[in-house]
């Protein structure tokens, strides 16, 4: 049984074929990593799965349902959440409101009750704020409960995005380079956080350049090169796959 199934997907930007005939499946309850050199199509693949780009060919099945042509917000409703490689935090809001905005699907966002601030809106908002505080603690942001997002350091914003993605209560979370720009100790903390997320029952797909992080946390790795699947398997299999070693990991990985 697979949670996410990508079938024969292709995407080109002009003459540049970014994804070509790519198929793979993601089984529930594990950490899947997608690695590959720059330009291999990793972020494009994320944008295709989350509906930001429309594939030229191919299908995406999520939870047994064809979700290929859905809009980003509809995919969020299906249970897919994500973070962004270049931060997309709502810098015009407080940290807590960022997480609460992530709970949009679980909030009562009807116009008229909101306009008159009916008691049900206030009550539900108080519950959401409580839950948002719990989520911020879950990602170790308890020091920023009252902070404005624009006043937070980079590393904290990375985790705030993860908290916001968690707030959607998705079944599948796509993390686009969560460790990029972090120092080694912050990266180790993200490592632990990703495992905690997976243990909470959320399936994780990870795109990451930090090989130590990828090899440490991944149950399954997909290697892309030039928009095609180069290899697939466990961390051990990938590490010893000669194609992968030649194309991507290089000599340093074999020594580890």
Interface of this chain with another protein, residues 196 to 215, rule: CB under 8 A: none
Nearer to another protein (CB atom), residue 101 or residue 145? 101
* DSSP-assigned states of every residue in 77-135: HHTEEE--SS----TTSBHHHHHHHHTGGGS---HHHHHTT-HHHHHHHHHHHHHHHHH
Nearer to another protein (CB atom), residue 20 or residue 161? 161
| Tokens 């299908």, residue located | 59
Residue 180 is a binding residue for another protein (CB under 8 A) = no
- End-to-end Cα spacing for the chain: 33
Name the minimum Å distance from CB 7 to another protein: 23
Nearer to another protein (CB atom), residue 36 or residue 51? 51
20-59 footprint of another protein as x/- string (CB under 8 A): ------------------------------xxx-------
**Beta carbons of 165 and 135 less than 8 angstroms apart:** no
In b/e form, how buried is each residue of 183-215, taking b as 16+ CB within 10 angstroms? Answer: eeebbebbbebbeebbeeebbbbbbbebbebbb
Name the minimum Å distance from CB 21 to another protein: 27
Select the span of 2-10, 88-96, 191-199, 225-233 touching another protein (CB under 8 A): 88-96
204: left (phi over 0), alpha (psi -120 to 50) or beta: beta
Kind and range of the H or E run holding 45? helix 42-49
Residue 77 is a binding residue for another protein (CB under 8 A) = yes
Select the span of 139-147, 163-171, 186-194, 226-234 touching another protein (CB under 8 A): 163-171
Report the alpha-carbon distance of residue 163 to residue 99 in Å, rounded: 6
103-142 footprint of another protein as x/- string (CB under 8 A): -xx-xxxxx--xxxx-x-xx-xx-----------------
Binding-site ranges for another protein (CB under 8 A): 50-52, 71-73, 76-77, 81-82, 84, 88-93, 97, 100-102, 104-105, 107-111, 114-117, 119, 121-122, 124-125, 161, 164-165, 167-168
């Amino acid at each position: 049984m697979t949670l996410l199934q990508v079938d024969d997907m292709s995407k080109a930007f002009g003459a540049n074929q970014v994804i070509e005939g790519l198929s793979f499946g993601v089984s529930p309850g594990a950490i899947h990593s997608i690695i590959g050199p720059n330009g291999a199509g990793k972020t494009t693949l994320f944008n295709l799965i989350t509906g930001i780009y429309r594939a030229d060919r191919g299908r995406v099945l999520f939870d047994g349902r064809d979700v290929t042509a859905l809009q980003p917000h509809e995919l969020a409703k299906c249970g897919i959440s994500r973070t962004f490689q270049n931060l997309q935090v709502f810098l015009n809001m407080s940290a807590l409101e960022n997480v609460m905005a992530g709970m949009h699907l679980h909030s009562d966002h009807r116009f008229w009750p909101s306009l008159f601030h009916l008691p049900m809106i206030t009550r539900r908002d108080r519950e959401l704020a409580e839950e948002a505080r719990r989520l911020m603690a879950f990602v170790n942001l308890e020091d920023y409960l009252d902070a404005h997002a624009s006043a937070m350091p980079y590393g904290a914003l990375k985790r705030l995005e993860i908290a916001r993605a968690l707030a959607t209560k998705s079944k599948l979370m796509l993390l686009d380079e969560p460790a990029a720009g972090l120092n080694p100790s912050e990266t180790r903390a993200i490592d632990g956080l990703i495992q905690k997320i997976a243990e909470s029952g959320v399936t994780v797909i990870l795109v990451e350049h930090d090989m130590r992080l990828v090899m440490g946390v991944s149950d399954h790795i997909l290697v892309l090169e030039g928009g095609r699947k180069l290899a697939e398997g466990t961390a051990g299999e990938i590490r010893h796959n000669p194609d992968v070693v030649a194309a991507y990991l290089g000599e340093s990985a074999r020594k580890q």
